[in-house]
Structure 1
Amino acid sequence: MNGQEFSKVGVEESKEIWRSADAVCFDVDSTVIQNEGLDELAAYCGKGQVVKELTMRAMQGGMSYKESLKQRLDMLQPSLETIQGFTRAHPPLPHQGCGLPPCLTKDVDKLVEVLQERGVDVYLVSGGFRSLIAPVAKLLNIPLENIFANRLKFFFDGDYGGFDESQLTSRTGGKAEVVSYLKQQEGYTRLVMVGDGITDLEAYPPADTFVGFGGNAVREVVKEKAPWFVNDFGTLISELQKED
């Protein structure tokens, strides 16, 4: 982390950083959307349960992220045709409370809109795949260049060819590297990471604070270690609307 010294912050300081943030990085699966995108792809491929178990192990720190990702994709072997069919059959939907995946989490669209109106740059930083996340970004009016996620590779005939292991988000600690890169390249001084999982918690520091999100799934270690933990995005909107 470039040899810098970081200090942890408490709840009140986290709220103050949130209100004055110049950039916010959101995790996607179980944060911006209600489900885990790769799990839904696995269900589409008829291998939902075994992949979901691996996802849970990765979320809880049971194996390295890259190892978990490789195992899940090796099971699925998703072709380009499969990915295209899945995204056509499962376009992202606004929050409806109906459980249809992929469904936006309640109030996330309002939160992104409020942040952008305040001049805050919004990013999606995910261990999922860009091809599955791009439709979500479009629905939220987040520029596609503000997505940091993994990339699938395909052979000339469209068969699965692995994933791009050079992407920062493909490895443990990758989200912290993305945050460091953004702070260095863009000069952000109050960058907030928001997410539900261990990989999101790992981004703090270098993120100036971390907001743990439990609106879709509560990871106990995240709830315990996050300087500020919320169960809904309405809380974050309300905090932005307070007088500084």
Structure 2
Amino acid sequence: MFTCTLIARPGLLDPALVTSLQGAWGGGDAVWLSADESAEFALESVPSNLWDVWADVQKLGVDLVVQSVEGRRKKMLLADMDSTMIQQECIDELADEAGFGERVSAITAAAMNGELDFDGALRERVGLLKGLPESVIADVLEKRITLMPGGPVLLATMKANGAYAALVSGGFTAFTSAIAAKLGFDENRANTLIARDGVLTGEVGVPILGKQAKVDALEEITARLGIIESDVLAVGDGANDLGMLLRAGMGVALHAKPSVAAQCDVRINHGDLTALLFVQGYSREEFSGA
């Protein structure tokens, strides 16, 4: 048995669209998870024209997910940080302080789209930060970093329902530790920016945590918790997230780079992070911390 979930920004999901799709696909009765925002209905099989319909409703500002009903509610959240749990790329913000903002942003975009080797791209970008006072990290955190909408509710709701949450980033521990504490993640993993005498050296600690490190985290944490990979919801937006997105029971491409989204069955382009609750079957009344 399968379920079809439709998600839009609050107030923008037209009931007529839900009814039309339900009829065209021979779906069961619609269940509204949030009025004019998210609805779902049961299906006996995955529709043959799923991706054609997905493309059509995307033009209406609607995300559509068809998945197996079994095991929808996950026991673990494995999340990327930059442009996923926060709205920025931390290294781009640091580079902007150093006067290399545009140059570094271009490298970041290419690396996240899978056009550059992650390790090399990270070393190159960190090298441009050499000489920057270490104190700039706290300044960037305070003045430039904002949480992705829906993140606090996502964490609060999943944890209230017994899920474990891990933040795994190709970014830096100076940021993941702060974001993990703010949102309530149980653990965080990232790279280390090296500083001496209060100044960034332009070096990053080794080994560098990239794509494989996220897969390693998935394997290690599930083994430690005594759960399996199908119990995990992974979310990210870049090429270095693909390993964990394709291995997890539910891999969500959130506002992702085109090359990344194309490889994922769950793509959220219009909703915020609470969409990850709707696709698990939570209704808005079940949300925590709202």
Q: Smaller-chain TM-score range?
A: 0.7 to 0.9
The structure-2 alpha-carbon separation of the partners of 1:15 and 1:122, relative to structure 1 and needing over 3 Å to count, comes to farther
Aligned pair 1:45/2:98, yes or no? Answer: yes
Q: Identity of paired residues, percent?
A: 25
Displacement of 1:222 in angstroms is: 1.9
Q: Which residue in 2 is equivalent to 1:29?
A: 82
Q: In structure 1, which of residues 129, 134, 137 is the aligned counterpart of residue 172 of structure 2?
A: 129
TM-score (norm 2): 0.68
Displacement of 1:192 in angstroms is: 1.7
Question: Within 5 A, what are the aligned runs for 1:146-185?
Answer: 146-155=187-196, 158-160=199-201, 162-167=203-208, 169=209, 171-185=210-224
Q: In structure 2, which of residues 134, 157, 182 is the aligned counterpart of residue 139 of structure 1?
A: 182
Q: Which residue in 2 is equivalent to 1:57?
A: 110
Displacement of 1:14 in angstroms is: 6.2
Q: Which residue in 1 is equivalent to 2:265?
A: 227
Aligned pair 1:67/2:107, yes or no? Answer: no
Displacement of 1:158 in angstroms is: 4.3
Q: Which residue in 2 is equivalent to 1:97?
A: none
Contact 2:245 2:252 in 1 (8 A): no
RMSD of aligned Cα (Å): 2.4
Aligned pair 1:116/2:169, yes or no? Answer: no
Aligned pair 1:77/2:130, yes or no? Answer: yes
State the distance in 1 between where 2:211 and 2:282 align.
35
CA offset digits 1:218-238 (Å, max 9, x no partner): 411222111211132232223
State the distance in 1 between where 2:88 and 2:125 align.
16
The structure-2 alpha-carbon separation of the partners of 1:134 and 1:157, relative to structure 1 and needing over 3 Å to count, comes to closer
Q: Which residue in 2 is equivalent to 1:86?
A: 137
Q: Which SS does the other structure have where 2:82 is aligned?
A: coil
Q: In structure 1, which of residues 179, 182, 186 is the aligned counterpart of residue 225 of structure 2?
A: 186
Q: In structure 1, which of residues 237, 241, 244 is the aligned counterpart of residue 277 of structure 2?
A: 237
The structure-2 alpha-carbon separation of the partners of 1:78 and 1:105, relative to structure 1 and needing over 3 Å to count, comes to farther
For structure 1, list consecutive stretches of 5 or more residues without a partner in the other structure.
1-9, 92-99
Contact 2:79 2:85 in 1 (8 A): yes
TM-score (norm 1): 0.79
Structure with higher strand content: 2
CA offset digits 1:39-61 (Å, max 9, x no partner): 01111111101111110111111
CA offset digits 1:202-231 (Å, max 9, x no partner): 2134322311101xxx41122211121113
State the distance in 2 between where 1:204 and 1:89 align.
29
State the distance in 2 between where 1:212 and 1:136 align.
20
Question: Within 5 A, what are the aligned runs for 1:98-117?
Answer: 101-117=144-160
Structure of greater relative contact order (alpha carbons < 8 Å, 6+ residues apart): 1
The structure-2 alpha-carbon separation of the partners of 1:213 and 1:157, relative to structure 1 and needing over 3 Å to count, comes to closer
State the distance in 1 between where 2:70 and 2:266 align.
11
Q: Which SS does the other structure have where 2:144 is aligned?
A: coil
State the distance in 2 between where 1:188 and 1:78 align.
44
For structure 2, list consecutive stretches of 5 or more residues without a partner in the other structure.
1-45, 47-64, 284-290
The structure-2 alpha-carbon separation of the partners of 1:223 and 1:172, relative to structure 1 and needing over 3 Å to count, comes to closer
Q: Which SS does the other structure have where 1:119 is aligned?
A: coil
